[in-house]
Amino acid sequence: MDRGKKKAVKRYFDYSLLFVTIFIAGFGLIMIYSTSSYTAQMKYGSAEYYFKKQLIFMILGFAAMYITYRIDYHIWHRFAVPIFVAALLLILALIPFGSEANGATRWIRFGGIGIQPADVSKLAVIIMVSSAVCSFGVKLKKFRYVILICIMTAGVQAGLIYVISNNMSSALIVLAIAFVQTFVAYPGYKIYIFLCSLLAAGVAAIYAWITSMLKSGKMTENFRLNRLLVWLNPENYATGKGFQTVQALYAIGSGGLFGKGLGKSLQKLGYIPESQNDMIFSIICEELGLFGAICVIMIFGLMLWRIAHVAQNAPDLFGTLLVAGVFAHIAVQVVLNIAVVTNFIPNTGVSLPFISYGGSSEVILLAEVGMVLNVSSKIRLES
């Protein structure tokens, strides 16, 4: 009977998600080579310097993906707290061991490999929120428990990230992940509509205040305000804080409809510093044009749609929330990254998932996709 039952149950596996992931990661590798080869040649005497490192990270990432795919996702429920604590300790480890770059401490180096604790933190929050929601069960019908979960999990991590590594963007992403997960878990809409309206109103108010201040010329020197001023008029700060933004806009604007062709970007020749990092999307625009850029966005859309599909059909709430967390992680970073690169929102360091150069984020993201694939494999197809 046992055998018969096993034969009757058809297990699902989301091949589309796997292939989309492989495609994006491969495409990212090509873009890393394209963007970094010239400067790598100048700096390290080897055009493949970044490419080779990213290739190793990608192999590690796919290995991680395979492992998380093979591990039954329910195990994460049991290890939620240890992982969460480990992530916190990793952030705290930045204080003695962190290496500083551009006024922010974001990296811990083990030999030649750098780890961003913020990346680990994102995974930890995804697991912890899912686990907490399941533990709270029906209590969650009360919104104050939602707030409690958010503060206890994402709030703590985001706070530490912000305070210790001065990394506002990662902190916001961590909060956004928890927000989306609890949104999926909580049965009501009204409170979210209210919160979103409040947020929109707040942003609008700040925008109006800034522009009116700008007109009246009563601007005071303030770091955060400065960032907003640069955002409004990047070309007035083209040699200073607006440099990166302006250079990215030059790259995007000079792409046109079909771009200059793969490898033919000029902005990557030192005009955009470290163009293989957060600003890589601007080089994609320059080389592949609007057409290529929209294709990349559509592929991300396809990936997110597949992940959402898995979330909707996950066998239990824990699976749904786990996948919803991964969904939120990728979606928020993609949208924020493109919005930053096109100067739609003020400049803040957000990398483009699977494409931007960076070891720990590549490994973590692929591991997360592995988790999603594991959840997908638990979906029962009823004939």
Binding residues (CB under 8 A) for another protein: these are 38, 138, 180, 183-187, 189, 249-257, 266-267, 269-271, 285, 289-290, 293-294, 297, 300-301, 304-305, 308, 311-312, 317, 320, 324, 327-328, 331, 334-335, 338-339, 342, 344
Distances (CA, A) of 310 to 66, 112, 202, 325: 17, 36, 34, 12
- Going by C-alpha positions, the residue among 123, 130, 172 that lies closest to residue 149 is 130
Least Å distance between CB 93 and another protein?
33
Distance CA 281, CA 117 (A): 24
CB of 108 to another protein, least distance (A): 31
Instruction: State the nearest-atom distance from the C-beta of 66 to another protein, in Å.
Output: 26
Task: Give least dist CB 202 to another protein, A.
Answer: 18
Local structure of 5: helix, strand or coil: helix
Question: Phi and psi of 110, rounded to 5°?
Answer: -115, 105
Q: Is residue 342 within 8 Å of residue 329, measured between CB atoms? A: no
Neighbours of 6 (CB within 10 A): 9
For residues 289 and 358, which CB has a smaller minimum distance to another protein in the complex? 289
- CA–CA separation, 228 and 38 (whole Å): 32
Shortest separation between residue 257's beta carbon and another protein, angstroms:
7
CB of 323 to another protein, least distance (A): 9
Q: Which is nearer to another protein, 189 or 223 (CB)?
A: 189
Is 214 or 290 the residue whose CB approaches another protein more closely?
290
CB of residue 253 vs another protein: minimum separation in angstroms? 2
- Nearest-Å Rg of the Cα atoms of the chain is 22
Nearer to another protein, 43 or 109 (CB): 43
Pick the closer one to another protein by CB: 60 or 302. Answer: 302
Residue 12 or 250 having the CB closest to another protein: 250
Strands 113-115 vs 104-110: parallel, antiparallel or unpaired: antiparallel
DSSP state string for 67-88: HHHHS-TTHHHHHHHHHHHHHH
In a 13 Å sphere around the CA of 301, the CA atoms on its Cβ side amount to 6
Are the beta carbons of 187 and 138 closer than 8 angstroms?
Answer: no
Q: Dig out the tokens for 17 from the structure.
A: 């998600």
Structure tokens given for 257: 């409809």
Give whichever of 87 and 326 is closer to another protein, judged by the CB atom: 326
Nearest-approach distance from CB 246 to another protein, in angstroms: 8
Shorter beta-carbon distance to another protein: residue 4 or 187: 187
2: how many CB neighbours lie within 10 A of its CB?
6
Between 165 and 333, CB nearer to another protein: 333
- Nearest approach in angstroms of CB 300 to another protein is 7
User: Where do the H-state alpha helices sit in the chain?
Assistant: 2-8, 15-44, 49-70, 75-97, 117-136, 143-150, 156-165, 168-185, 190-216, 223-232, 243-253, 280-313, 317-341, 359-377
What gap in Å lies between CA 47 and CA 34, rounded to an integer?
A: 9
